[in-house]
Amino acid sequence: MTDIWPFWVAGRAETGQETFEVRSPYDEKVAAVVAVPSPQQVEVAVAAAAGVARQAARLPAHARAEALTAVSARLAERGEELARLITAESGKPVKWSRVEVSRAVSTFRWAAEEARRFSGEVQRLDTSPGADGRIGLVRRFPRGPVLGIAPFNFPLNLVAHKVAPAIAVGAPIIVKPAPKTPLSALVLGELFAETDLPAGMVSVLTVPNERAGDLVADPRLPVVSFTGSGPVGWSILDAHPRKHVTLELGGSAAAVVCADYAADLDWAASRCATFANYQGGQSCISVQRVVVAREVHDRFVDLLVEHVKALRTGDPWDDATDVGPLIDRPAAERVGQWVDEAVAAGARVLTGGTREGATYAPTVLADVPSDAKVSAEEVFGPVVVVSSFDGVDDGFHQVNASRFGLQAGVFTHDLRTAFRAHRDLEVGGVVVGDVPSFRADQMPYGGTKESGVGREGVRYAMEDYTYERVMVLTGVDL
């Protein structure tokens, strides 16, 4: 009989009467059987988070940092095990799963460092008459317990980006992992149970999506950090305007290839090919659109198609596999439908355009109408759309024409163009000399327009989870 994976209620492993299966997207084999918490067990977790909030906020910096350091170290020790869990539950090629684990190790290490230096600031207040002898100490304090809702595409590191900042500031957190990929988050719950943090600071609850609304609505969880689909995210914000809600909702990331990059087109093409497909295209900053200067367009497209054709698809357990399956067969079928709709509207398939089970072949499209779903919506699949532009203004206009604005890449050697991109592109991040898919886990990460509100990146999430409180000292000799 298959062992049942427990969930974590205030640092304790528990099971319930209900279970669900986690299946591999690649071969549909059962990867695990996971227990589902009852409403009573969810209540215990929420009550524990609320009950420990004051104690958690008063924890000394070293205690928070030591717990985060311990988790980082344990993740590194169990790195291969966790990488294989990620591949089992998500179908992600194991070489990319190993990268995700290494990033999670770094995320918790960064949080430990930030916990030690999250100190606030001192302000002189005697800047106008009547304020002589006054000085202000500005510190940040937790808003309260956090509900972190994570997606399936980075089942460990995107959970880390919710948990690590919460612990760093002294805020309890309840994690709701994606039902399709809960296993690595459950291991994370186990690792936090090994620390000396007070019980109640971390719970990992494998509640089904249809029951998540009760958690979102609970007034004892004043902060909601959500990563996932736009309709769900905006509905949370609309329904709970008095909560502090952060949303990371994806996009249709673009890379701009400028004419001055002619000598390095092969590098640009190889990067676009890799990062349009590296998670099966299931990344919020996967390269979905490439706009290329007309002077180098044809040569770039030839190189891009060559690099995409060289990508190896198939068994995610094979170290040589570059592109694995999507999260399930319906996701691959949807991508195929969107490609077919674009072709019916006049698009050309330069390579790919076929599906086998949950795997969709890496695909390059040209002559795509701007209103086609593969261009206007987030594909979340291994599809890249190529178009040309005349002049940098036209290229940047094409990037900004999207209703999303998460990140953009700009391949240029011209410093002036780089600064223009930073000024003019309506996105949360501009990556110069590389694809929009680059993310360092300490940098601010988030978007504009319909890509969401708030920022991840350890210190920036810490600020989102807290508010300023000023103390004014009077009668001080300055």
The closest of 394, 275, 280 to 326, measured between CA atoms, is 280
The closest of 184, 169, 283 to 225, measured between CA atoms, is 169
Dist CA 404 CA 252 (whole Å): 6
- The catalytic residue among 89, 114, 248, 378 is 248
- Quote the tokens at residue 433: 């000399």
Is the distance from CB of 186 to CB of 34 less than 8 angstroms? Answer: yes
Q: Which residues contact 145 (CB under 8 A, 6 or more apart)?
A: 46, 49, 50, 53, 171, 172, 173, 174, 220, 221, 222, 223
Is the distance from CB of 437 to CB of 285 less than 8 angstroms? Answer: yes
- Quote the tokens at residue 32: 């695990």
Helix ranges (H only) for 212-356 are: 212-217, 230-239, 265-277, 297-310, 329-344
Dist CA 201 CA 56 (whole Å): 7
- Quote the tokens at residue 25: 């997207």
- The catalytic residue among 114, 258, 272, 284 is 284
284 catalytically annotated: yes
Helices 157-169/183-193 angle, 10° precision: 30
The closest of 466, 447, 446, 471 to 456, measured between CA atoms, is 446
Residues, the chain? 478
Upper half-sphere CA count for residue 124 (Cβ side, 13 Å): 7
Neighbours of 233 (CB within 10 A): 24
* Partners of 227 in beta bridges: 248
SS3 128: coil
Catalytic residues: 248, 284
